[in-house]
Amino acid sequence: MKVDIAIVGGGLAGLALAAALRGSRFSVALVEGRNPQPPAGLDTRIYAVSPSSAVFLTDIGIWRHLAAERMQPVQHMEVFGDTSGKIGFSAYDSGVTELAWIAESSLLHQELWETVKRQANVQLLCPAKPEALTVGDGGATLTLADGRTLVTDLVVAADGADSWTRQALGVDVSFKHYEQLGVVANFACSEPHRGTAFQWFRPDGVLAWLPLPDNRISMVWSTPKAHGEVLAQLSPEELCARVAAAGQNRLGKLELITPAQGFPLRLMRAPKIVGPHFALLGDAAHAIHPLSGHGINLGFQDAKVLAETLMSLRPFERCGDVLSLRPYERARKEEIVALQTMTDGLQRLFAPQIAPLAWLRNTGLNLTDRLPVLRDALVRYALG
């Protein structure tokens, strides 16, 4: 089979790229191991979708099909330091309708999948598993485990932080393991959250509560591995009490909806995200600490910029030519490096329990909160 572009990985970023290439001159094959399976109840994987990502999803025809009753707009955000520091953000004060939208991963995934499945220029190869990849001057050849072969001008690695495709391409990346777990769970609250997201920088990690519809919240507790393992083993009653107390009982009594799960946290940097006949996308290109909530938005913006780069090529320009792909790499480098540096720096700043650092970080939060121009600049960047 011969196609212009082969996308390996049918996660959110890979599907978004395929959808964004609708109406282009390129033929696309998307290789994925399994169909998305929505959970029986509330998804434990929750994302904060920035307004700029919502605009992108609108442009590719996804946003208006998402079930509004399963998404929650964020109107306010309160961030607390580990002593007296505090900073607040308001959509109203910043002149926007919402700071972000909180949505279940499965909601986004299913709609992207159905949209791409109906797309005339895309062939969905699922279930399919890549087995071998060779790249030469004329293009790339991807061999699947079932014997099928794809000959393509451009291979896009969109298969996650442990990307098989990236490794097959010989792109070495560096990992920094935080020795932390991101513990996630969903709760019902006895007090209304009023569309407010909360975040606490604590001695035992960073605790975030993201508002969900029907007065529920999604918790992400980025915490040292040993503490994360303890949290995951607590009884529902003990976990609810522990999480409520850690959040200063801001939303009253909590009731567990989905069991706690933990995943390891790490930073991943790639020396390059393009090369002859390949591009890296989403988590295959970068990984950051979740404290900023921007991981999925980086992936969506990767898809947006790569699609724009490819669709701007002139008819005689090849999509797999490294010179054709350089604008994508240049356009994405600044935001990726900035967020990696910021999240890693915040993680290191709040991790040590040293008095001078505690004073510095909490004073910084309070000072930023008292400077509307600086606070609004942070909001505007978060909004994209």
Domains of the chain with CATH codes: 2-38+105-175+267-347 (3.50.50.60), 65-104+178-265+353-383 (3.30.9.10)
Provide the greatest CA pair distance for the chain. Answer: 64
Core vs surface per residue 326-363: b (16+ CB within 10 A) or e: ebbbebbeebbeebbebbbebbeebbeeeeeebeebbe
pLDDT for the residue 87? 82
pLDDT for the residue 383? 52
pLDDT, one tens digit per residue, over 330-368 is 999 988 888 888 778 777 665 644 444 444 444 444 444
The conformation of residue 321, written as its DSSP 8-state character, comes to -
Contacts of 11 (CB under 8 A, 6+ apart): 109, 158, 159, 160, 282, 283, 299
**Is the distance from CB of 70 to CB of 105 less than 8 angstroms?**
no
The conformation of residue 248, written as its DSSP 8-state character, comes to T
Task: Return the SS3 of 265.
Answer: strand
Contacts of 46 (CB under 8 A, 6+ apart): 102, 103, 104, 105, 184, 186, 210, 212, 218, 220
**Is the distance from CB of 142 to CB of 149 less than 8 angstroms?**
yes
pLDDT for the residue 37? 86
pLDDT for the residue 377? 46
Strands 174-189 and 196-202: unpaired
pLDDT for the residue 356? 46
Strands 278-280 and 274-275: antiparallel
pLDDT for the residue 272? 97
DSSP per residue, 143-176: EETTS-EEEEEEEEE-S-TT-HHHHHTT---EEE
The Cα 195–Cα 374 span in angstroms is 23
Long-range contacts of 163-166 (CB under 8 A, 24+ apart): 163/9, 163/280, 163/283, 163/284, 164/8, 164/130, 165/8, 165/9, 165/130, 165/133, 165/278, 165/284, 166/270, 166/280, 166/284
The Cα 197–Cα 72 span in angstroms is 11
Could you tell me what percent of the chain has a pLDDT over 70?
88
- Asked if the peptide bond before residue 127 counts as cis, ω within 30 degrees of 0, the response is yes
Query: Which residues of the chain carry a pLDDT beneath 70?
Result: 82-84, 292-294, 348-384
pLDDT for the residue 319? 98
Q: Tell me which residue has tokens 């298969």.
A: 159
Contacts of 307 (CB under 8 A, 6+ apart): 17, 20, 21, 24
